[in-house]
Amino acid sequence: MPQAHIPIVALIGRTNVGKSTLFNRLLERQASIVSKVAGTTRDRKEGVCLWRGLVIKLIDTGGLDMDHSDEIEKNVVRQAEKAIAKADVILFVVDMKQGALPQERELAAVLMKCGKPVIVVGNKAETPAIRNSAMDPSWRLLALPSPIPVSGLRGTGTGDLLDVIYDKLETIKMKPAELQEVTAVRVAVVGKPNVGKSSLINAILGEERFIVSPVAHTTREPNDVLIEYKDKEYLLIDTAGLLKAAKMKKQGELEEQGAFRTERVLPKANVALFVVDVTEPVGTQDKMIAGMVKSAGTGVIIVANKWDLVKEKNPTTINRVREMIAGGLPFIAWAPTVFVSAKTTQRIPELFTLIDEVEKARHAQIPERDLETFWRSAVRAHLPSRGKGPKPPEIMGMEQTGTAPPTFNLHIKAKRLDVLHPSYLRFLENRMRIHFKLTGTPIVINIVGMTARAK
């Protein structure tokens, strides 16, 4: 069970002052994409920081330059405002190399009105001369204290900064939390751009937790949020939209980084919510992502989003669309499909029940006696199909060798392994899903011969 409240510290500042670099340094991991491109961080990003054996929660936000004009930048401002409202302490990050700018004086006035303790952090202080400049009168932003010089890039001064944060929490009678193990189900939300991944997470959370925009690639990086539903914890991971490699290179370095990080997230996830746009036919990008999800070995739920936009529905519409999706995604045709509307929240609660079911199936441990009964029954129903050998092989036994995903060895009486036709493994897999209720999980069946082993 999560603690009632972990103290929250929000990093606020204009663009390109190094908030994400400092955020990563304090977390001691690469949580945010770092780039020289202004506005790289768009969503607010959260992470837990350990110091003195206790933890606080950090929130990284997009840059506030007080002059945003387009819709995405307005959303960045709204997300930062929410972070300020949620925070117990504000880290006002400034660039020590540039000196105080007029935007910082405007932002200082805004932060002083929020009623929260504000710590000014002078980032990019890599040299003694820059660190000493923190005492210059020009850095007195209204009534705020002088900056604490740090280098998010090198880590210089970050320990002192954390000490100041913890001391500030003590003055407002808040204590950092005890370190607790998080055993949440990791749920990655994947799909091509603009299918509604962030909107789906917003619907699950019941708030505008992530920026939602009709512009493709609004989300550039995997983004985590820990939630509790019916006394169970789930870590939702919003990911960047995945394109084919050729298209991804044309989009630029940030989008390519986001896709690479998404590919690294998938093998660590327990369940993937694979979001497709139900108003569009299954395309090559969807198929590429389906193959990627299957290779990762994670459980899969196909989330057919925008169901509210499907016109003239009748009792057969769902079955017809489900068959169309399964036919277009043969790699994961075994994955259950849920028809939802992120806009109206239709069927959103059903996702948690299905996530639990898939996660249980991934860790299913089948008793040896039940497995033997199963394979003998399967052989009686359908004799092994001949592959390249002179005759069909004889099946000698089957054993489970692992879970997450369920993995099995199928022993055959043969010196070569290709005597068993691949279609027979698909037959066993499909029958196994039904018999043992292995919903939404990959199943791995390795063929083992009398004198050779292979996958």
Q: What is the DSSP string of 193-262?
A: TTSSHHHHHHHHHTS--S---SSTT---S-EEEEEEETTEEEEEEE-PPP--HHHHHHH-HHHHHHHHHH
Residue 284's contacts (CB-CB under 8 Å, 6 or more residues apart) are: 244
Q: What is the DSSP letter of 343?
A: T
Helices first, then strands: H and E counts in the chain: 13, 16
**From the CA atom positions of the chain, what is the Rg in Å?**
26
- Chain centroid, CA 103 distance in Å: 33
**Cβ(190)–Cβ(262) under 8 Å?**
yes
How many Å apart are CA 273 and CA 235, to the nearest integer? 12
| Helix, strand, coil shares, percent, the chain, to 5 | 35, 20, 40
Identify any residues that bridge with 149 across adjacent strands, giving them in sequence order.
122
Give the pLDDT score at 52: 80
Q: Give me the helices (H) in 382-418, please.
A: none
Give the pLDDT score at 2: 44
Q: What is the DSSP string of 148-211?
A: EE--TTT-TTHHHHHHHHHHHHHHTT--PEEP----PEEEEEE-STTSSHHHHHHHHHTS--S-
Render each residue's pLDDT in the chain as its tens digit; 455 residues. 344 578 999 999 998 899 999 998 998 764 433 334 343 334 568 888 888 878 899 999 888 865 556 666 677 788 888 889 999 999 999 999 998 888 888 899 989 999 999 999 999 999 999 999 989 888 888 889 999 999 999 999 999 999 999 999 999 999 888 876 667 899 999 998 889 988 998 899 886 655 555 544 444 455 677 788 888 888 888 776 554 444 445 444 544 554 556 677 788 899 999 999 999 999 999 998 999 898 899 999 999 999 999 998 998 999 999 999 999 999 999 999 999 999 999 999 899 999 999 999 999 999 999 999 999 999 999 999 988 877 889 999 999 999 999 999 999 998 788 899 999 999 999 999 999 999 999 999 999 986 544 44
Residue 338's contacts (CB-CB under 8 Å, 6 or more residues apart) are: 301, 302, 303, 304, 347, 350, 351, 354
Give the pLDDT score at 18: 92
Record the pTM: 0.69
In the block, which residue shows the tokens 């320990």?
A: 159
Give the pLDDT score at 63: 81
CB-count burial class (<10 Å; 0-12, 13-18, 19+) for 63: buried
Give the pLDDT score at 250: 47
Give the pLDDT score at 298: 95
**Cβ(169)–Cβ(49) under 8 Å?**
no
Q: Which helix (H) or strand (E) holds 413?
A: strand 407-413
How many Å apart are CA 120 and CA 107, to the nearest integer? 12
Which structural domains are found in the chain, ordered by start? 8-178 (3.40.50.300), 185-362 (3.40.50.300), 368-448 (3.30.300.20)
Whether residue 176 is preceded by a cis peptide bond, meaning omega within 30 degrees of 0, is no
Give the pLDDT score at 454: 44
In the block, which residue shows the tokens 């441990």?
A: 365
- Nearest Cα to 303, choosing from 338, 277, 345, 348? 338
How many Å apart are CA 316 and CA 114, to the nearest integer? 54
Residue 224's contacts (CB-CB under 8 Å, 6 or more residues apart) are: 45, 46, 47, 235, 236, 237, 238
